[in-house]
């Protein structure tokens, strides 16, 4: 599906964004490990999360859709060997976290994904799992991958990369491993796994950037999923750069390990207010008000990078409208996403007229520049590239065409509908 984006009128009104994708993945997986019944409310309907839900069904859980916002997962029986290979679709989160679950089972499984996922590296989780005794068959650490279930042993793992996926994979493996499994990272990555484990009664201990878990049985507790700050980021940037905009985004998760986007946009002189703060299923939640602002350049590096790694493509759009030179570094992991997001963002924003230079681990972006448009944008099978381009299109002098915009459905099928509610045209 190709779409055309035109210069926007001011954005006004209130929206509620869809559920957090990261938390939904975990809610489905953790429910499958409870040996009980768990109701998950306000879950993400994105294709990635639906891949996770289908996999836990293939592993023996029953799934009942109560209504449009609630699903009941029955995991009263232990997980069992699937009849066929498990299809992870385009979801790296599904793949990497499920490896931690499946490596310690008493049966074998095979996992595969689409063409994009099949190119993504899995060594970062396979290598530490093998240290725990896990057994795999693979071709250069890429999908398809066979997992030979076996008894795992806890390890003390020091990661050179701050990665919530690697951390969560090992903690999930540690749930069913003998002894203690510990994970230490250089910076604190998103901690949804730790919070949900705590909520569901796991024997977990967190000290700074180190987390340890003992063999545990998760307790069945209903989970309400908050809105996804990674999805909210596109509307936040849109409101900041489209003149005279003033919007409220309701029910957004503001977990401190994910809220780097808020800190950076505030540092760029963005008008952002957090309203109605509250705790939902052990996660901090708020409503976010955003108004058009005269943005200023900043430097983004170091410990904040894991807190906003997925939002960097749309932050680059904001930086193109900020006075001065914005520098983004220490973000080399962007090259290992659905696409090489560093090269992709540089290439497509340059088409629009942005003054952006690619570095090995980030960008140098000079602003404020007028985005001219009148071109075709590629999204590289990457939902975040597609949505970032859409936001940029809202301030382009002439319309732009975004090819294969359907990749947005991977994480945010409601994106265009919510845009229309804010009078985007």
The residues annotated with a catalytic role in the active site are 310
Structure tokens belonging to residue 230: 């990674």
In whole angstroms, give the CA distance from residue 94 to residue 55. 9
In whole angstroms, give the CA distance from residue 318 to residue 365. 10
Largest separation between any pair of C-alpha atoms in the chain: 61
Nearest alpha carbon to residue 35 among 174, 221, 233: 221
Specify whether the CB–CB gap between 202 and 216 falls below 8 A: yes
Backbone angles phi, psi at 139, to 5 degrees: -115, 100
Distances (CA, A) of 388 to 240, 266, 296, 310, 335: 14, 19, 19, 11, 16
Specify whether the CB–CB gap between 233 and 258 falls below 8 A: no
Specify whether the CB–CB gap between 241 and 424 falls below 8 A: no
In whole angstroms, give the CA distance from residue 175 to residue 181. 8
Instruction: Return the axis-axis angle of helices 47-58 and 92-102, rounded to nearest 10°.
Output: 20
Specify whether the CB–CB gap between 53 and 94 falls below 8 A: no
Neighbours of 123 (CB within 10 A): 12
Sign of the Cα torsion 125, 128, 134, 135 reads: positive
Structure tokens belonging to residue 387: 């949505």
Specify whether the CB–CB gap between 344 and 380 falls below 8 A: yes
- Terminal CA-to-CA distance of the chain, rounded, Å? 18
In whole angstroms, give the CA distance from residue 104 to residue 111. 15
**Exposure string (b/e) for 310-319, b if CB count within 10 Å is 16 or more?**
bbbbbbbbbb
């Amino acid at each position: 599906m190709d779409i055309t984006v035109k210069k926007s009128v001011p954005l006004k009104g209130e929206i509620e964004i869809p559920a957090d994708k990261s938390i939904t993945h975990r809610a489905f997986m953790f429910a499958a490990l409870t040996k009980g019944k768990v109701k998950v409310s306000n879950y993400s309907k994105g294709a990635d999360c639906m891949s996770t839900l289908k996999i836990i069904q293939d592993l023996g859980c029953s799934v009942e859709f109560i209504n449009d916002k609630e699903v009941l997962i029955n995991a009263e029986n232990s997980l069992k060997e699937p009849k066929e290979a498990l299809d992870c679709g385009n979801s790296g989160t599904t793949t990497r976290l499920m490896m931690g679950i499946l490596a310690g089972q008493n049966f074998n499984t095979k996992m595969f994904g689409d063409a994009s996922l099949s190119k993504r590296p899995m060594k970062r989780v396979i290598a530490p799992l093998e240290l725990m005794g896990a057994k795999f068959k693979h071709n250069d650490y890429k999908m398809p991958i066979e997992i030979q279930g076996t008894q795992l042993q806890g390890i003390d793992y020091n990661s050179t990369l701050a990665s919530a996926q690697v951390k969560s994979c090992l903690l999930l493996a540690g749930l069913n491993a003998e002894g203690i499994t510990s994970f230490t990272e250089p910076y604190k990555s998103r901690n949804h796994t730790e919070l949900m484990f705590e909520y569901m009664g796991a024997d977990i201990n967190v000290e700074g950037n180190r987390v340890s878990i003992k063999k545990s049985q998760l307790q069945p507790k209903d989970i309400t999923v908050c809105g996804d700050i990674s999805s909210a980021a596109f509307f936040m940037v849109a409101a900041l750069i489209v003149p005279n905009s003033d919007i409220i985004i309701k029910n957004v998760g503001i977990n401190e390990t994910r809220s780097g986007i808020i800190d950076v946009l505030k540092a760029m002189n963005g008008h952002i207010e957090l309203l109605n703060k509250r705790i939902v299923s052990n996660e901090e939640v708020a409503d976010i008000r955003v108004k058009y602002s005269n943005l200023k350049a900043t430097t983004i590096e170091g410990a904040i990078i894991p807190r906003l790694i997925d939002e960097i493509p749309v932050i680059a759009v904001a930086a193109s409208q900020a006075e001065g030179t914005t520098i983004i570094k220490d973000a080399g992991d962007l090259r290992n996403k659905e696409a090489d997001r560093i090269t992709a963002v540089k290439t497509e924003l340059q088409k629009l007229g942005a003054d952006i230079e690619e570095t090995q681990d980030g960008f140098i972006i000079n602003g404020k520049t007028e985005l001219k448009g009148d071109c075709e944008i590629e999204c590289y099978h990457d939902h975040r590239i597609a949505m970032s381009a859409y936001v940029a299109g809202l301030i382009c002098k002439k319309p732009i065409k975004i090819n294969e915009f359907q990749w947005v459905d991977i994480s945010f099928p409601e994106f265009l509908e919510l845009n229309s509610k804010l009078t985007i045209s």
